[in-house]
Amino acid sequence: MGTIEDYYIDEIAEGAIILDGLDDAIIGVVEEFGNGRRVLYSAEKIVTILMERDGMTWHEAVEFYDFNILGLHAGEQNPVFLVTK
């Protein structure tokens, strides 16, 4: 069963890809003319979640993010990621 945030995101970005277990890294929804809305994640928050939740080192978390999350292509409404550092 989803959280209230899942229902809200699904309502404003219907069909957008939502990554399992990374709700705390969602920072918004983006839209671009001619394309569907997509969920915006903080790359930094994803790495922090992987370290805290899964016990990864920073290097392991960044490598996992690069290959398994950033490299994911699940469709037209694939998530997008904000890198701030």
Q: In what order do the strands lie in the sheet with 35-42?
A: 26-32, 35-42, 80-82
Residue 83 has pLDDT above 60, yes or no: yes
The average confidence (pLDDT) of the chain is: 88
Classify 39 as helix, strand or coil. strand
Q: pLDDT digits over 15-59, tens only?
A: 888 899 999 999 999 988 888 889 999 999 999 999 999 999 999
Cα 53 to chain center, whole Å? 16
The percent of residues above 90 in pLDDT, for the chain, comes to 61
Domain boundaries, the chain: 4-82
pTM: 0.85
